Amino acid sequence: MIPIRDTIPGRSTPVVTVILIAVNAAVFFYELALQPKDLERFFYLFGVVPARYSHPEWARWVGLPVDDYWPFLTSMFLHGGWMHVIGNMWTLWIFGDNVEERMGRARFLGFYLLTGLAAGLTHWFTNADSTVPTVGASGAIAGVLGAYFVLFPFSRIIAVFPILFLPFFFELPAATYLLFWFLSQVFSGTLAGLGPESVGGVAWWAHVGGFVAGVALHRLFAGRRRGRRLRDRPRRGCRSGPRAESPDDLPSRFGHGDGAHDGDHRGVRAHEGPVELDDVVTRELAHRLLCPLDRHAVGMVGERQPCQRP
C-alpha cells in the first residue's frame, strides 16, 4: 500500500518538515556526484555500521574511527537510491505536517532526531555483527508515524494498491493503516532474522524501534502544547484595548448598575448584593454582540457571572 494523502488539512506551513526534506534532497544530490568508491567510503564513515561498535578491533583494522558516534545522527540524512529517498520524503510530507503542527517546530525537530537515534540503536542491538552500513531517514520517519498513530487515529488515509498494473485506490482509518504497516515490519524483520546473514536490504527492526519510540515519547513533545492550545486559544472577536470593550463595562450602558465595578482576577464584576437574572441575560446578550465569532468566550459568560440566590 502506498499512501497518497491524509484527510487532515494543515493550518500552517510545516517549516521543519520542508527543511528536513530539503536537507535530505541536498545530501542525496551530493551523493550522486561522488564516484562509486568514494560513495562507499562515505556510507561507511557516516552510516551506522553495527560491527564498528560491537567489534572495535575490526573497526580499527578496516580504518574506521571507533569512538565516533555521529553516524547515528548523520545516517538519517543519507539514502541509497532514488526510490529510497523519494519514498521516505513522500511519507514524511504526508504525515509530518500534522505532527509538527501539534508539537510545534522546535519540539518536532527534537522528536524527529530522538526517534531516529532510537531507531539506529535498535538496529545496532538487533544486528550487532553486521558490517553493512545502514543509511536512511526511515527510522526517524517511523517515529513520526508512531506519533501520528496516537495523535490522529481517526484520520483517514487515501492509499493505492497496484493490482496487475492497475491502481486500486481506497480509504481506510489511519490507525488501521499504521498498525498494518507496523506489523508488516515486525513480520519482515522476524523472517529476515530466520534466514542467512544478509548483505543488504531493509533495516526492519530500525523501523520497529523508531515506531515504538514515537508512540512512547510523543507525550513528552505534544501533550503539554495540546493543553496550552485549548487554554490559551486567542479570541478572534474580543480583544483588550480601544477596539473592544470588556463585558464588565456594559451593565451601566444597558441600565443595570451604577457603572462602577471592582473586578476580581478574571475581570468579572463583583456585585455587592444579589445578582438578578435579567442582569446575567443582558450581559450575555451584550457579550454575544461584541464577540459573535468567539464560541468559547460566549459559552463562559454564564459561568463567570452565575446567578446567586439572596
Which of the residue ranges 19-23, 41-45, 105-109, 250-254 would you say has the lowest mean pLDDT? 250-254
Flag whether pLDDT at 172 surpasses 90: yes
Pairing of the two strands 166-173 and 2-6 = unpaired
What pLDDT is stored for residue 42 in this prediction? 95
Phi, psi values for residue 171, rounded to 5°: -125, 140
Q: What DSSP state is assigned to residue 250?
A: -
Coil, strand or helix at 105:
helix
Interval 286-308 mean pLDDT: 44
* Rounded alpha-carbon distances, angstroms, from residue 65 to 53, 105, 174, 215: 10, 34, 42, 33
Interval 38-64 mean pLDDT: 92
Which of the residue ranges 57-66, 267-276, 277-286 would you say has the lowest mean pLDDT? 267-276
Task: State pLDDT tens for residues 225-265.
Answer: 444 443 334 344 444 444 444 445 444 444 444 444 444 44
Neighbours of 195 (CB within 10 A): 7
Give residue limits of the domains in the chain: 2-231, 247-304
Q: What superfamily does domain 2-231 belong to in CATH?
A: Rhomboid-like (1.20.1540.10)
More confident position, 163 or 171: 171
Please calculate the CA angle 45-18-214 and round it to the nearest 5 degrees. 70
pLDDT tier for residue 161 given thresholds of 50, 70 and 90 = confident
The pTM (predicted TM-score) of the whole model is 0.70
Which of the residue ranges 4-13, 50-59, 258-267 would you say has the lowest mean pLDDT? 258-267
